[in-house]
Amino acid sequence: MLKRNKIFNPQGEDNSAKRRIIKGDTTGLFQLNDARYSWATSLYPVMIGNFWIPEKVSGLKDDARMFRSDLSEAEQRAYKGILSFLIFLDSIQTVNIPNFSDYITSPEVNLLLSIQAYQEAIHSQSYATILETVVDSKEREEIYYFWRDNEILLKRNEYIGKIYQDFIDRPTDKNFFRGIIGNYLLESLYFYNGFAFFDTLVDKMKMLATGRMISYIRRDELTHVTLFANIIREIKNEFPKIFDENLIYKMFETAVKQDIDWSIHILGNKIPGITEETTRAYTKWLANQRLELLGLKPLYPEAVENPYKHLERLQDTNSDKSNFLETTVINYTQSSSLNGSWDF
């Protein structure tokens, strides 16, 4: 069992040399001048620099008009179903991130988790902003509660919800590890077929304001991927017995299967630029990329090409000044050059 952090633990030791990612013994104070994890101090300015609010993104009225006049029936259905899944994911992230913080014993990492929780809340608010303008109240209900009548979505939501609930109910080492791998899959894989759908719309100059918000959300999510990839790597360094490679591969396999099934169900073959084949290829390619970030071999060695490579120009992860969405460039690779200092 893991022990939940005490609010204040006067006997604790804050010296960074003795700090551990979990199961440490800190006082509970945010002593941030003495940081151990240099990747955390490097990630902080990137996360803070990504600040945005949905209320400042203009053009949703154009999206509302376009939704009725320019989207096919299949695109409208996909827009609603994809948003429903993203809404669910950001909801549970907003609620659950603090549950991980309760067991992380590094203030510099807890700092980032607090920023993440705040960003997940902003994402939730951004969906509300989209739904307020683009669709009518009946459709809004339908989108929030799509899972009520959709067995495939309900199963997906229950799967990840149960992984988190098991960890909250019984915070064993194993349930903690399952929880952070579940979190990593959510952040690094679950969102991306949905993001690809919005990219294909933007590629055809459709739903540009929604696309811009999705782009900001993705920029945040990529920092969350980095954060959790690093937490998992620290678990491997500091607690090799908790790190369970077989479990990672098993969970990846399940997640890829679920993501392909759901994405094919909601996107099908009727969205220009997306086929069942590209959905399969993209999900497997992405899973390999995410495993590589954890220092693990690919699960699908045959999936070496990103079928949506042509859409990368719409994403803000590339340092391209002519970036269509005019968003800030981030570089989310891990930096170890700062040695625990907070230089901007």
Compute the least distance from the CB of residue 101 to Fe ion, in Å: 14
Which residues 6+ apart lie within 8 Å of 305 measured at CB?
A: 281, 285
Using the contact rule CB under 5 A, the part of the chain among 45-53, 117-125, 170-178, 323-331 near Fe ion is 117-125
**Residue whose CB is less far from Fe ion, 116 or 200:** 116
Of the candidate residues 123, 156, 212, 219, the single one contacting Fe ion (CB under 5 A): 123
Residue 246 to residue 22: CA distance in whole angstroms: 21
Binding mask 277-316 for Fe ion (x = CB under 5 A): ----------------------------------------
**Residue whose CB is less far from Fe ion, 41 or 94:** 94
Compute the least distance from the CB of residue 231 to Fe ion, in Å: 13
**Residue whose CB is less far from Fe ion, 123 or 156:** 123
Residue 46 to residue 50: CA distance in whole angstroms: 6
Which residues 6+ apart lie within 8 Å of 334 measured at CB?
A: 39, 42, 226, 229, 230
Of the candidate residues 178, 224, 284, 290, the single one contacting Fe ion (CB under 5 A): 224
Distance (Å) of CA 23 to CA 19, 26, 245, 292, 336: 9, 9, 21, 27, 23
Total residues at interface with Fe ion (CB under 5 A): 6
Taking residue 320's Cβ as centre, other Cβ atoms within 10 Å add up to 12
Residue 188 to residue 191: CA distance in whole angstroms: 7
Q: What is the CA radius of gyration of the chain?
A: 20
- One-letter amino acid identity for 307? P
Binding mask 245-284 for Fe ion (x = CB under 5 A): ----------------------------------------
Using the contact rule CB under 5 A, the part of the chain among 26-34, 53-61, 221-229, 274-282 near Fe ion is 221-229
Residue 67 to residue 158: CA distance in whole angstroms: 30
Query: Does residue 120 belong to the site contacting Fe ion (CB under 5 A)?
Result: yes
Compute the least distance from the CB of residue 152 to Fe ion, in Å: 22
Catalytic residue selected from 37, 44, 79, 127: 127
**Residue whose CB is less far from Fe ion, 71 or 115:** 115
- One-letter amino acid identity for 233? R
Compute the least distance from the CB of residue 223 to Fe ion, in Å: 8
Using the contact rule CB under 5 A, the part of the chain among 1-9, 11-19, 213-221, 278-286 near Fe ion is 213-221
Residues numbered 72 to 101 that lie near Fe ion (CB under 5 A) are: 90
Compute the least distance from the CB of residue 11 to Fe ion, in Å: 35
Residues numbered 159 to 198 that lie near Fe ion (CB under 5 A) are: 187
Distance of CA 162 to the CA centre of its chain: 18
**Residue whose CB is less far from Fe ion, 47 or 153:** 47
DSSP of 173-201: HHHHHHHHHHHHHIIIIITHHHHHHHHHH
Residue 213 to residue 259: CA distance in whole angstroms: 22
Query: Does residue 218 belong to the site contacting Fe ion (CB under 5 A)?
Result: no
Contact (Cβ atoms closer than 8 angstroms) between residue 46 and residue 343: no
Contact (Cβ atoms closer than 8 angstroms) between residue 251 and residue 185: yes
**Residue whose CB is less far from Fe ion, 63 or 120:** 120
Contact (Cβ atoms closer than 8 angstroms) between residue 210 and residue 70: no
Query: Does residue 36 belong to the site contacting Fe ion (CB under 5 A)?
Result: no
Residue 309 to residue 23: CA distance in whole angstroms: 42
**Residue whose CB is less far from Fe ion, 224 or 280:** 224
The answer to whether residue 127 is catalytic is yes
Residue 39 to residue 339: CA distance in whole angstroms: 8
Residues involved in catalysis: 127
Q: Which residues bind Fe ion (CB under 5 A)?
A: 90, 120, 123, 187, 221, 224
